[in-house]
A and B are shown apart, each in its own frame.
Chain A
Amino acid sequence: MYPIVAKKCLNPTVTMMDIAAPLVARKAQAGQFIILRVDEDGERIPLTVAGYDRAAGTVRIIFQVVGATTEKLNHKQVGESIQDFVGPLGEPTHLAGLKKVCIVGGGVGCAIALPIAEALHAMGAEVHAIIGFRSRELLILEDEFRAVSDRLTVMTDDGSYGSRGTVTVPLQAALTAGEQYDEVIAIGPLIMMKFVVATTRPFGVKTTVSMNPIMVDGTGMCGGCRLTVGGKTRFACVDGPDFDGFEVDFDEAMARGSMYRDFERHAHEETCNLFQKEVR
């Protein structure tokens, strides 16, 4: 069992937790992920590492409540434990040698982008961060990003905070203005990463994306997380989760991501009903 040692709500649907998992904390690096099961008979879900404290032996996860499993996880409190927690899995983000980087985060993807921005900042690289949300209520980690960014741009779809529009607007403007980035690293919804790649491609700026497909074991055994990258089948769990954005078939990834949508919606509703009954 893996105890929850800290919990904080970042916005109405996004929660941060620190989990005691010393073996994982010892090895975790930015860009890697873990797999957890909330309880016995629970589903295995992958979550990208949002931080770690090697001395305390804890790993930070930040998740959005989107389905039955994240709903159950969100109902767990400090002092309670989760059943299984394994990692770190996948390859860390390759940061060596980078001097100037634009980090683009969308929604809960900002949770994964932050440790990368922090690592780059600690290396002495110049960090430009663009973070986007649907609206002001969903904003997360602004102060944390500001602390490690040489330039921070906050975007909201509805203009309720920062500037109005998608993350590609300031990215396009920066590239057009002649900003020379060693790399653009984009983490967020598939549709956002697809459009970031469409924005950077004409400028030929190397663009890395972090993929988070459906997984079961997370060690290469099942192949459920396969993607087409550069025309080849790759497994996100062992070959990724980072890939060259110019090579990823995003449309296929989006289709595969919807494989269990009906099941997931139904399971989430059932779980919510169950929790409501408990409250009554």
Chain B
Amino acid sequence: MPANLRPDKNPMPSQPPAQRAHNFDEVALGYDEAAALDEAARCLHCANMPCVSGCPVNVHIPAFIEQVRSGDFEAAYQIITQSSSLPAVCGRVCPQENQCEARCVRGKKGEPVGIGRLERFVADWHNQFSAAAPVRPAPNGHRVAVVGSGPSGLTCAGDLAKKGYAVTVFEALHLAGGVLVYGIPEFRLPKRIVQQEVDSLRQLGVDVQTNVVIGKTMTIDELFEQGYEAVFIGSGAGLPNFMGIPGESLKGVYSANEFLTRSNLMKAYRADAATPIWKGGRVVVVGGGNVAMDAARTALRLGGQVSVVYRRSMEELPARREEVEHAMEEGVEFHLLNNPVRILGYQNPDDPRDPKNGCVKAVECIRMELGEPDEKGRRRPVEIPGSEFVMQADVVIIAIGTSPNPLIKNTTAGLEVNRRGGIIVQEDTGATSRSGVYAGGDAVTGAATVILAMGAGKTAAKAIDQALMG
């Protein structure tokens, strides 16, 4: 059968923007079988497989696509899970355009093969139609503890469990999944998908203990005392950064972490939710990353009129292009080359008991222009003197990144961190300065992507296996 030489990917069926702007259902609906078969036929099966080297966990991409093309979707799934513990998640949230698809030969003339869309199709097909429970490997007698149940922790746990390790995952929150459940919204990654992935790990024998804060409920040292022979720390990005401008403690100012946690983990978007969130009004989101896009699109769905304020231009905006386009289609406005200088509050001069007192009223911004490139090559934004202006606002969401959480560092003697607080590791093993302790994901790198965290979990699992089995 000849390859399909059409230059474009099969489009992703999606909810129309006007409809999805008012609900929390998933935006992208996924390929049907016909689209998947057609897209799989676009793969040229290059001998040197550039796509595989573009994947942080090296999924055998041409091999799984070949199985899709032949219609054996379960076989395709089994190929993906050899490398990835979370295929239904990766198919949705990986930035494929910078990874596997960026290296696809088809991308040189036209669009690359829709690798992410095919991965998602295969994982969803498996979750819907396959009854095959993962086979529990024979125990090898070794115990490993994993701190945090986000992408890096789940990957590390999954890889070790497949090799026969008894793995316990400790999660601080009441639900496993880390950023996949508290951070990424339902409309990008339905929570039932995350729970299915966690359930598959449980079927593999992984023990997930929620409500345990390592550094508080138990320390790393106590884990070793309890007989764990190695510990992987995947505790995530941690504390939200604020701008340090006046007005950040006014009522109506949220960190993106808080806003998203209320909506995603605590389901505050539901009418019957027990956890409150401010809905509607004029919302200003500060920042230009994926988290800012998630916060903006969540606020929009809660009935807000949403503006994103970012201090550089569209070219430097770090969020995935697809997320920015989705946000624009849905009606999020972008105010680029602007930076907030203070948040203004409401104060009724005649009534000190006015409930609106202390609430956000507006954000004062200053216009920026791009100056000389900084050490990373990004052009530095510079304030234009005298260009201040005021934007009306009821809610302000600060999405300018996070700093590592010090809970584990402060309770683990000898665990070295860099000057930003990230845990220092050897890149090829994930080993920290403490013997038997490994780390990966945002706790090491600061806020990054799901797939990079998974790559780090995978690297550490391999190193732990080598250290314990020799």
Interface residues of A, Cβ cutoff 8 Å to B: 23-24, 27, 37, 41-44, 68-69, 83-89, 216-217, 219-224, 226-228, 233, 235, 238, 249, 252, 255-256, 258-264, 267
Write the chain B residue with the least CB distance to A86.
B211
What are 30 of the A-B contact pairs (CB < 8 Å)? A23-B217, A41-B273, A68-B274, A84-B211, A85-B211, A88-B216, A88-B217, A89-B213, A216-B258, A216-B261, A217-B173, A219-B172, A219-B213, A219-B405, A220-B405, A220-B406, A220-B407, A222-B255, A222-B261, A223-B255, A235-B239, A238-B239, A249-B249, A255-B251, A255-B357, A255-B358, A258-B251, A258-B355, A259-B278, A260-B276
Kindly state whether residue B188 has any CB partner on chain A within 8 Å.
Answer: no
Write out the residue numbers on chain B whose beta carbons fall within 8 Å of the beta carbon of A226.
Answer: 242, 249
Tell me the smallest distance from the CB of A23 to a CB of chain B, in Å: 5
User: Once bound together, how far apart are the Cα atoms of A216 and B259, in whole Å?
Assistant: 10
Encode B352-387 as 1/0 by CB contact (under 8 A) with A: 000101100000000000000000000000000000
User: From DSSP, what is the main secondary structure of chain B's interface residues?
Assistant: loop
The 9 closest A-B pairs by CB, nearest first: A255-B358, A222-B258, A86-B211, A263-B276, A43-B274, A223-B255, A260-B276, A84-B174, A223-B240
Kindly state whether residue B210 has any CB partner on chain A within 8 Å.
Answer: yes
Write the chain A residue with the least CB distance to B255.
A223
User: Once bound together, how far apart are the Cα atoms of A234 and B392, in whole Å?
Assistant: 27
Write the chain A residue with the least CB distance to B410.
A238
User: From DSSP, what is the main secondary structure of chain A's interface residues?
Assistant: mixed
Write out the residue numbers on chain A whose beta carbons fall within 8 Å of the beta carbon of B240.
Answer: 221-223
Contact A233–B248 (Cβ < 8 Å): yes
Instruction: Specify which of B217, B262, B274, B278 is in contact with A69 (CB 8 Å cutoff).
Output: B274
Tell me the smallest distance from the CB of A162 to a CB of chain B, in Å: 31
In the complex, given contacts A224-B254, A255-B358, A258-B355, what are 9 additional A-B residue pairs having Cβ atoms less than 8 angstroms apart? A41-B273, A88-B216, A217-B261, A219-B213, A221-B261, A222-B255, A233-B244, A238-B407, A256-B249
- Indicate whether A42 sits within 8 Å of B258 (C-beta atoms), given known contacts A86-B213, A221-B405: no
Write out the residue numbers on chain B whose beta carbons fall within 8 Å of the beta carbon of A86.
Answer: 172, 174, 211-213, 217
Write the chain A residue with the least CB distance to B211.
A86
User: Once bound together, how far apart are the Cα atoms of A233 and B398, in whole Å?
Assistant: 14
Contact A23–B274 (Cβ < 8 Å): no
Write the chain B residue with the least CB distance to A263.
B276
Kindly state whether residue B56 has any CB partner on chain A within 8 Å.
Answer: no
User: Once bound together, how far apart are the Cα atoms of A214 and B258, in whole Å?
Assistant: 11
Write out the residue numbers on chain A whose beta carbons fall within 8 Å of the beta carbon of B250.
Answer: 255
Interface residues of B, Cβ cutoff 8 Å to A: 172-174, 182, 210-213, 216-218, 236, 238-240, 242, 244, 248-252, 254-255, 257-258, 261-262, 266-267, 273-276, 278, 355, 357-358, 405-407
Instruction: Specify which of B217, B218, B238, B262 is in contact with A220 (CB 8 Å cutoff).
Output: B238
Write out the residue numbers on chain A whose beta carbons fall within 8 Å of the beta carbon of B238.
Answer: 220-221
Interface centre among B211, B238, B249 (most CB of A within 10 A): B211
Contact A220–B274 (Cβ < 8 Å): no
Write out the residue numbers on chain A whose beta carbons fall within 8 Å of the beta carbon of B213.
Answer: 86-87, 89, 219
Tell me the smallest distance from the CB of A132 to a CB of chain B, in Å: 24
- Indicate whether A252 sits within 8 Å of B276 (C-beta atoms), given known contacts A222-B255, A224-B258, A235-B239: no
User: Once bound together, how far apart are the Cα atoms of A41 and B273, in whole Å?
Assistant: 7
- Indicate whether A83 sits within 8 Å of B174 (C-beta atoms), given known contacts A24-B217, A216-B266, A221-B239: yes
Tell me the smallest distance from the CB of B376 to a CB of chain A, in Å: 26
Contact B217–A27 (Cβ < 8 Å): yes
Write the chain A residue with the least CB distance to B242.
A233
Write out the residue numbers on chain A whose beta carbons fall within 8 Å of the beta carbon of B172.
Answer: 86, 217, 219
Write out the residue numbers on chain A whose beta carbons fall within 8 Å of the beta carbon of B358.
Answer: 252, 255-256, 258
User: Once bound together, how far apart are the Cα atoms of A138 and B211, in whole Å?
Assistant: 33
Contact B257–A222 (Cβ < 8 Å): yes
Contact A267–B274 (Cβ < 8 Å): yes
Contact A41–B274 (Cβ < 8 Å): yes
Write out the residue numbers on chain A whose beta carbons fall within 8 Å of the beta carbon of B248.
Answer: 233
User: Once bound together, how far apart are the Cα atoms of A130 and B254, in whole Å?
Assistant: 37
- Indicate whether A216 sits within 8 Å of B276 (C-beta atoms), given known contacts A222-B255, A223-B239, A233-B242: no
Write the chain A residue with the least CB distance to B260.
A222
Write out the residue numbers on chain B whose beta carbons fall within 8 Å of the beta carbon of A44.
Answer: 174, 266, 275
